[in-house]
Chains A and B, each alone.
Chain A
Amino acid sequence: MYWIHLIKRNIVYSNRQYSKQVSNKWKSVVGLEVHAQISSNSKLFSGSSNEFASPVNNNVSLFDCSIPGTLPVLNKKCVEAGIKTAIALNCKVSPVSMFDRKHYFYADIPAGYQITQQRAPLALEGNLEFQVFTPGIHKKPYTVNAKIKQIQLEQDSGKSLHEDDRSLVDLNRAGAPLMELVFDPDLSDGEEAAALIKELVIILQRIGTCSCKMEEGALRVDANISIHKPGEPLGVRTEVKNIGSIRGVAGAIKYEIKRQIKVLESGGRIVNETRAWEATSKTTLPMRDKEQQQDYRYMPEPNLPPLHVAIGPIKNGCVNVDEIEKQIPELPSGTRTRLIDDFGLQLQQSIILVNNPILLNMFEEAVKGSTNYQLLANLLINELLTIVNKNNMDLENILVDGKTFSEIASLINDNQINKNTAKLIINEVITGDLKSPAEIIEKNNWIQISDVAQIEKICTNILNENKDIVEQYKKGKTKVFNSLMGKVANNSKQMINMALVPEIMKKLLSKM
């Protein structure tokens, strides 16, 4: 919870374009705190279900509603998930961690305190290295390394629902398991923050410890933002709480930096406050000031003995860290390296594929059937994504597999079709044609025209129809050649093998 502002920035700048000054005068500093709900069957300290969207107050045990005399029992699965996450984020897992009570009165926190790990958290001192690359904003990717201060297990709160004259409480979420990940303020803008969250989401989804469904609140981001002049100490920070989407993270931080600059430049001062991100108006607004000077009166949780884990030479513990480590799959950075090393992709391509698990899956499947890796990457990243967007569709909902793309790539390689036809095929496939690419070509008669005689015939027709252009060409205006080429392409509904056309065309022209 504590965001220490004094920690010196120590980023590996090797790949970073050092142009993060938002204006000549100001530098911005951003730190994140992430609450990730653990994907577990039951809650952190009780046996009730941890299912999303259950009927109101259905997943509530006696402990969850703080009935006197009930006691917490730690869910081993949540410890495993926390440790798996810690390992994936290069943290040092604590052989012994402890639980604390954090007190505050709020209707959705039934015990009057939250059980968390303030003093001796589950894991410490990790780091997350990630690529920052937002097409349209960054020309090329750069690396940022954000340090992780700690990872702690803690209880989620319930939800208060306010009506005009009354408030209601839903305790389904109360006591749900959370991992809180506290990052050092190693970031400098919203894009970096969004890239960090994106990378984190992929990691957590791969290791299966959090669904990361931000729309369900499974992953919530708090951002600490301050600005200062170069060479001066860090400024007063504000905290933007509960940002619920990745673009929201970028937007909220961008807005907040701009707002702070505006305040300071107009002679105002920044107050240490909690603000909320309003996604619809794209602004941050001050929240209730309950946070101000709140003293949480932390105290060790007496009902839970210290949490011991088996690690290295320590053989006794609630879970075995070394065993968990073996379950960690390839992480996104590893995948990017593999895509570059094994398939010769560019860094940009590897970032886009890794950031899009569905595309990546298709790619991994497609490379089994075609070795033209660049072509495959292009088809997926450029063609498929463009067509999906044009059709206003969602990648998740389309019924197309990687095999289709390896087939398309083979067809292109074998000169059966050209890239234009490939687009048409992709369009057919994603709009529901379940035939194979070869069948689609057959059906639509889209086979590429590579027969020289046939091409000659088409070209002759074009030349005959465009005597004036031919005339210009003859007079030495050779630029018009391209226009003739275009007419050939259009005339053949883009089905002609254009690679063969220039030579044939030149030959015909020279005869005229």
Chain B
Amino acid sequence: MDKLLLSNIRNARKLLHENYITPKDLLNSCLTQAKDTNHLNAYITLTEDEGNKQAKQSLERYQKKEATSKLDGIPIAIKDNFCTANIKTTCASKMLENFVPTYNATVYEKLLNAGAVLVGKTNLDQFAMGSGTIDSIYDSTKNAWGYTEDDYYIAGGSSGGSAVAVATGSCFAALGSDTGGSTRNPASYCGVVGLKPTYGLVSRLGLIPLVNSMDVPGILTRTVDDCVLILNTIAGHDPKDSTTLTKPYKEILLPSSGKLSVKGLKIGIPKEYHCKNLDKEVLDTWNDVAKLLDENGAVVKEISMVNTEHSIVCYSILNQCEVASNMARYDGIEFGLRADENSSTEKLYATSRSHGFNEVVRNRILTGNYFLLTKNYEKYFNQALKVRRLISNDFYKAWEDVQVLLTPTTLSTAPKYKDFVKKTNRDQCAMQDFCTQPANMAGVPAISIPIKLSKKGLPISLQIMGRNLSEPMILALAKYIENIVKFPGVK
């Protein structure tokens, strides 16, 4: 069973179909695995009751031979910033510690309709603000790789819980969210596949927002094929999210790896991603894979994306402005934490908000509001929007030359917790998100895939980016690389 848990969705589906196992068995194994890896703290809530109900319904469908979906009975996990009806959705915050939504995020609803079974809600940085999954009121999530009882590496973030859950086999796939790299960063550190789809391809309804104009639901899986299965399930127009594309979604069907070829594929290596903090081992891996692709017939060429270095600063400004705005609703009136404070409405707001948010959130709110002041708007927010346009243009220009981009996902392998916390959340984000946030600024799809283990035995991953809606291409290339590098996975 343990072997199955670290296998892929197709295998599990086959066993379910052939009645070797029941959805309930599979769920229980996942739950057991989650409990066995409890020390890694991937989950905030295990949804045993809900999951068992769903597994039972799945079993009935299998018995009636009505289980047609490729995800029927497959255990999944969801980051705890997606609303799940009757299941608390905390955003790892004091503010929403007891928040139980009455509705489902569209992506969760779609997974349920496809017969998926919920294992639990995974840990994150408070309101997804972070890149380590260490700023959670439920404590930090720990990377499975290189874990020892007295020392551990961070899982990356903010979707660290989802990445660890997938890496350790307590679910077959997990949803994360990706605003500046929150899906790809932990995928990179935990050695799993992490996809950030094109902005507008997947509904954000029910995703508690960080930066509305950049947030996308992300997908974490152990294989590229699994990622495709999940994407095919959750993508598509949602009338309740006006920013989703109305064009009907066409299911992606990838050929078997043997039939994939990179002959003639134009791959760009943007030199600006070779920044000063880039780890030697990551750089070598990047070069190796580029060389490998070149040898297999791809046209690999260096290109320039001149505005890359300005991206992170502007990302940070836009992020804080939208955060300031989005967080305004947490006033303790309609939902969420309400302080015991009756002297005035203003006092009630202030006390609720200072108790409900951690320092990171409070700082971003303060800074964002500063940037949005009438006197600062042009200087900061509008300027950042202009640079955002330049970043997008860099991508458009790149697509004139190449079809996809190959870059590192993270500048290094996972840092140790004690090293990571030496820097502030803000400084960490500025470094951690360097390679990932440009895709969010431009809205383009990006995927992180694990390539190999470092000398210390930690995953090294690379990122592939493509033009808007080029998911079929970047997923195909990811699958091609996956098949060649044969990344080992957690033992």
Nearest chain B residue, comparing its CB with the CB of A169? B333
Q: Which residues of A contact B165 (CB under 8 A)?
A: none
Residue from B83, B105, B242 within 8 A of A74 (CB atoms)? B242
Quick check: which of A102-110, A363-371, A383-391 contacts chain B, the rest being far away?
A102-110
* CA gap between A62 and B321 in the complex, in Å: 24
For the complex with contacts A69-B207, A111-B328, 12 further pairs of A-B residues with Cβ separation under 8 Å are A66-B334, A68-B208, A68-B335, A71-B204, A71-B243, A73-B242, A74-B242, A101-B325, A103-B372, A105-B346, A107-B345, A302-B213
On whether the beta carbons of B99 and A68 are closer than 8 Å, the reply is yes
Which residues in A have their C-beta under 8 angstroms from that of B207? 69
- Nearest CB in chain A to that of B321: its residue: A299
Assess whether A305 is in contact with B242, with CB atoms less than 8 Å apart.
Answer: yes
**Chain B 288-301 interface mask (CB, 8 Å, partner A; 1/0):** 00000000000000
List B89-104 residues whose CB lies under 8 Å from chain A: 89, 91, 96, 99, 101-103
Task: A69 to B207: give the CA distance in the assembly, Å.
Answer: 5
Question: Would B334 and A303 count as touching, CB distance under 8 A?
Answer: no
B329 touches A302 (CB 8 A): no
Tell whether B417 is near chain A: CB-to-CB under 8 Å.
no
Task: Pick the contact of A299: B83, B103, B334, B381 (CB < 8 A).
Answer: B381
- One of A65, A105, A169, A303 near B243 (C-beta < 8 A): A303
Query: Does A12 interact with chain B (Cβ within 8 Å)?
Result: no
Residue contacts A-B, CB under 8 angstroms, 7 given: A69-B83, A69-B208, A103-B325, A112-B331, A295-B374, A297-B373, A299-B322
Contact with A along B204-241 (1 / 0, CB 8 A): 11111101110000000000000000000000000111
In angstroms, Cα B83 to Cα A62, docked, is 12
* Binary contact track A71-102/B, C-beta < 8 Å → 1, others 0: 11110000000000000000000000000010
Q: Are B205 and A70 in contact (CB under 8 A)?
A: yes
Contact B334 A69 (CB under 8 A): no
> Max chain A CB contacts within 10 Å: which of B99, B325, B327, B331?
B325
**A72 near B329: Cβ-Cβ < 8 Å:** no
CB <8 Å contact, A299 and B372: yes
Q: Answer whether residue B351 sits at the interface, using C-beta atoms and an 8 A cutoff.
A: no
Q: How far is the CA of A369 from the CA of B92 in the complex (A)?
A: 77
CA of A103 to CA of B204 in the docked complex: distance in angstroms? Answer: 22
Q: Which of B208, B242, B327 has a CB less than 8 Å from the CB of A303?
A: B242
Contacts of A303 in B (CB 8 A): 212, 241-243
**Residues of A close to B99: CB separation below 8 A:** 68
Query: A158-182: contact bitstring with B at CB < 8 Å (1 yes, 0 no)?
Result: 0000000001010000000000000
Interface presence of B349 (CB below 8 A): yes
Given contacts A62-B103, A167-B345, whether A69 and B206 have CB atoms under 8 Å apart is: yes
Contact B328 A73 (CB under 8 A): no
B333/A110 in contact, CB under 8 A? yes
Interface residues of A in 108-156 (CB under 8 A from B): 110-113
Q: In the complex the two chains form, what is the Cα distance from A510 to B321 in whole Å? A: 100
Residues in B with CB closer than 8 Å to A112 are 325, 327-329, 331
Across the A-B interface, give the 4 residue pairs with the lowest CB-CB distance, nearest first. Answer: A112-B328, A297-B372, A302-B212, A302-B213
Please determine whether B204 and A73 come into contact, CB atoms closer than 8 angstroms. Answer: no
Determine the residue in chain A with the shortest Cβ distance to B99. A68
Most A CB contacts (10 A, CB to CB) among B105, B242, B324 go to: B242
- Cβ of A304 within 8 Å of any chain B Cβ, yes or no, is yes
Contact B334 A110 (CB under 8 A): yes
Which residues, 2 to 19 on A, are CB-close (under 8 Å) to B?
A: none
Residue of A nearest to B82 (CB): A69
| Residues of B with C-beta under 8 A to A103 | 325, 328, 372
B-facing residues in A292-347 (Cβ within 8 Å): 295-299, 302-305
Q: How far is the CB of B13 from chain A (nearest CB, A)?
A: 30
Q: Is the CB of B208 within 8 A of A302?
A: no
Contact residues in A for B103 (Cβ distance below 8 Å) = 62, 67, 69
Considering only CB atoms, which chain A residue lies closest to B371 in the complex? A297
Q: Is the CB of A66 within 8 A of B242?
A: no
Whether B324 pairs with A297 at a CB distance below 8 angstroms is yes
- Our pick among B213, B329, B345 for the contact of A66 (Cβ within 8 Å) is B329
* Distance, CA A304 to CA B91, complexed state (A): 24
Closest chain A CB from B413 CB (angstroms): 34
Contact pick for A71, options B89, B101, B240, CB 8 Å: B240
- Cα-based distance from A297 to B329 in the complex (angstroms): 15
Contact B205 A71 (CB under 8 A): yes
B369 at the interface (CB under 8 A from A): yes
The residue that B328 contacts in the complex, of A67, A71, A105, A169, with Cβ under 8 A, is A105
Find out whether the CB atom of A107 lies under 8 angstroms from the CB atom of B333.
yes
Shortest CB–CB separation between residue B427 and chain A, in angstroms?
26
Question: Distance (Å) between the CB of A2 and the closest chain B CB?
Answer: 11
Q: What's the least CB distance linking B105 to chain A, in Å?
A: 6
CB distance from B376 to the nearest CB of A (A): 9
In the complex, how many angstroms separate the beta carbon of B303 from the nearest chain A beta carbon? Answer: 30
Given contacts A105-B331, A299-B321, contact A69 B105 (CB under 8 A): yes
Q: How far is the CA of A429 from the CA of B328 in the complex (A)?
A: 60
Contact flags A55-68 to B (C-beta < 8 A → 1, else 0) = 00000001001111
B204 partner residues in chain A, CB cutoff 8 A: 71
Bound state CA distance, A107 and B346, in angstroms?
Answer: 9
| CB neighbours of B240 from chain A (8 A) | 71, 73
